[in-house]
Amino acid sequence: PNLVTFNSLLKVCATRGNLQVARQLWESIEANELPPNAITYNTIINVCGRAHRPDLAEQFLRRMQDIGFEACMITFSVIISTHAKFGRLEDAEAVFTELERSGLRMDSGVYAPLIQRCAEVQAVDQVEYYLGHMHDRGVLPTERLLGVVSQAFADVGRRRRGEFWIERLSELTAAAGGARRDAQAAGSAAGRGEGTDDSPSALGLHRETA
């Protein structure tokens, strides 16, 4: 079997969270002297995350980085989420910092596990830090995330502060929706030929004068 076949089998393991079979496949890849590519590494890391092994996921991350491959945003997100779910907040934050330095664009899936874990331990200052980070980068929140934020502030008696953040993040969603509608309207108008000026002057044509 070639590497494409192994990558496909690893993706099946990722879907099922079957780390045992995934590790056997990895051993077969090495036994066949097939050099893993970025897809191979990203997939095995996903398997480790689904199998609740953030330590092993991070080991594979370091291995792929050592040979020159770059992890994608989803790979970082998997490791952050797994660390956070197991209460390893410092480890999750360290990987978040690494992701931030990479320059990769983040989505709400990166922030959600961090905010969730900070809320569970009532680390409201950290919740606010990540909310501010999201807002400054224009990351749109999910409804579930807004619910977590509301509950986190309510639990520490700061409901109005929670409402403040929900309003700020909701503004991003509203702005994004407005921009999307404007783009769709512009596209429709262009399709109908509206808003165009076909006059000679607009086309750069000028009547010569005697």
pLDDT value at 16 more than 70: yes
Q: What is the 3-state secondary structure (H, E, C) of 135-176?
A: HHCCCCCCHHHHHHHHHHHHHCCCHHHHHHHHHHHHHHHHHH
Segment 115-150, tens digit of pLDDT: 999 999 999 999 999 999 999 999 988 888 899 999
Segment 85-102, tens digit of pLDDT: 988 999 999 999 999 999
pTM, whole model, 2 decimals? 0.75
Distance CA 124, CA 88 (A): 17
Backbone angle region of 6, left / alpha / beta, with phi > 0 → left and psi within -120 to 50 → alpha? alpha
Cβ–Cβ under 8 Å, residues 83 and 95: yes
Length of the chain: 210
> Which residue bears the tokens 């749109």?
140
